[in-house]
Chains A and B, each alone.
Chain A
Amino acid sequence: MSIFEYNGSALVAMVGKNCFAIASDRRLGVQLQTIATDFQRISKVHDRLFIGLSGLATDAQTLHQRLMFRHKLYQLREERDMKPETFASLVSALLYEKRFGPYFCQPVIAGLSDDDKPFICTTDSIGAKELAKDFVVAGTAGDSLYGACEAMFKPDMEPEELFETLSQALLASVDRDCLSGWGGHIYIVTPTEVKECTLKGRMD
């Protein structure tokens, strides 16, 4: 079994009209066994930037700690928050540092850059950035997520419609993956507010 499939995860971020949404599943497993159904994969970097880390949970936690550290240091030095593009480059650099002994993680970065333009990005485990205009996916349910998002995505969705679309795409995809699921976490971010919701899906 691949090391990326040890804990199981599903992550997706989608762009709307001056807003974005990022969603994850809630399962923490150890191969076939489910340990917890309330695992947080997405964390807030600052009010307009979120990062989700899929893949091996221990590396996701280590990487998360290192990224928070680097961002806090940046905030102290620059007296401002990091732009999403800059943060994505930071993530990429940190991952490539470990090129020959990598973190087994696939991050999904989502933020609002200048002029409230939504920015989403994913990288592979050694930091190759993939910038997309519509949606990015990661995790064991990634293939299913690609299909579901491609089918359901429309450009320039308002926050409410984006929430519906992303929730349905996530729940449909994790139902086809035994290693992810047990509900979902979704954050919808607009320039004025951040809404966090928990999704109820098939608990199996």
Chain B
Amino acid sequence: EIGCRVQFTEYIQKNVALYQFRNGIPLTTAAAANFTRGELATALRKNPYQVNVLMAGYDKEIGPSLYYIDYIATLHKVDRGAFGYGSYFCLAMMDRHYHSGMTVEEAIDLVDKCILEIRSRLVVAPPNFVIKIVDKDGAREYAWRESVKPDATA
């Protein structure tokens, strides 16, 4: 849900930053994912967050990792993940085309295939997509895939 999403993810972001300030070293991806799961699990039986999370990170010794965290705080480390109605199509595409050790170009190609599937198969497909990459040089916006350009006057 939109309200929860912004509030919860900012909360996680700020706590991850706080850890780095307090301890001088950044949280590993696994630790951040477990922290996120803990927050979701604690809130689950009081005032649940309706937020699904895919957490991707790069650690120097471990390399890249991806964590799937459900809104009911199910945590699992995965190679590929997706949420929402489009996930049915994306997971199928990824099951077919993914292999470990893909290059960035191959991965972007796979992402584009997934976006194509969502656009053609999903009735409620969103018009625009952003692709972000996380690697040893950090997290950055890589590209947009837009079918509707934002209004210049808006």
Contact A36 B41 (CB under 8 A): no
Of B67-75, B121-129, B137-145, the one with at least 4 CB within 8 A of chain A: B67-75
In the assembled complex, B136 has its CB within 8 A of some CB on chain A: no
Contact A30 B70 (CB under 8 A): yes
Contact A36 B75 (CB under 8 A): no
For A, the interface residue count at a CB cutoff of 8 angstroms equals 13
Measured between beta carbons, the chain A residues less than 8 angstroms from B73 are: 58, 61-62
Measured between beta carbons, the chain B residues less than 8 angstroms from A101 are: 45
Please report the C-alpha to C-alpha distance between residue A35 and residue B91 in the assembled complex, in whole angstroms. Answer: 9
Contact B74 A7 (CB under 8 A): yes
Measured between beta carbons, the chain A residues less than 8 angstroms from B37 are: 61
Q: Mark A31-44, 1 if CB is under 8 A from B, else 0.
A: 00101100100000
Q: Which of B72, B76, B87 is close to A56, meaning CB atoms less than 8 Å apart? A: B72
Measured between beta carbons, the chain A residues less than 8 angstroms from B76 are: 28, 35-36, 39, 57
With A33-B87, A33-B88, A35-B68 given, is the CB distance from A57 to B74 under 8 Å? Answer: yes
Please report the C-alpha to C-alpha distance between residue A7 and residue B74 in the assembled complex, in whole angstroms. Answer: 10
Q: Within the complex, what minimum Cβ distance (angstroms) separates A102 from chain B?
A: 10
Contact B75 A61 (CB under 8 A): yes
Q: Within the complex, what minimum Cβ distance (angstroms) separates B28 from chain A?
A: 18
Using C-beta atoms within 8 Å of the partner chain, give the interface range for chain B: 10 to 19
In the assembled complex, B78 has its CB within 8 A of some CB on chain A: yes
Please report the C-alpha to C-alpha distance between residue A58 and residue B30 in the assembled complex, in whole angstroms. Answer: 16
Please report the C-alpha to C-alpha distance between residue A85 and residue B58 in the assembled complex, in whole angstroms. Answer: 43
Q: Within the complex, what minimum Cβ distance (angstroms) separates B93 from chain A?
A: 14
Measured between beta carbons, the chain A residues less than 8 angstroms from B26 are: none
Q: Which of B44, B45, B68, B88 is close to A36, meaning CB atoms less than 8 Å apart? A: B68
Measured between beta carbons, the chain B residues less than 8 angstroms from A30 are: 70, 74
With A35-B81, A36-B68, A58-B44 given, is the CB distance from A28 to B87 under 8 Å? Answer: no
Q: Mark A19-56, 1 if CB is under 8 A from B, else 0.
A: 00000000010100101100100000000000000001
* Nearest residue, chain A, Cβ from B95: A34
Q: Which of A7, A36, A58, A61 is close to B78, meaning CB atoms less than 8 Å apart? A: A36
Q: Within the complex, what minimum Cβ distance (angstroms) separates A36 from chain B?
A: 5
Please report the C-alpha to C-alpha distance between residue A39 and residue B44 in the assembled complex, in whole angstroms. Answer: 22
Known interface pairs A57-B74, A62-B73; 4 further A-B residue pairs with C-beta atoms within 8 A, sorted by A's residue number = A35-B68, A35-B76, A36-B78, A39-B76
Chain A interface residues (CB < 8 Å from chain B):
7, 28, 30, 33, 35-36, 39, 56-58, 61-62, 101
Which 9 residue pairs of A and B lie closest in terms of their CB atoms, listed nearest first?
A: A57-B74, A58-B73, A58-B74, A58-B72, A36-B76, A62-B41, A36-B78, A28-B76, A61-B75
Can you list 11 A-B contacts with CB-CB less than 8 angstroms, sorted by A residue number? A28-B74, A36-B68, A36-B78, A39-B76, A56-B72, A57-B74, A58-B41, A58-B72, A58-B74, A61-B41, A61-B75
Chain B interface residues (CB < 8 Å from chain A):
37, 41, 44-45, 68, 70, 72-76, 78, 81, 87-88, 91
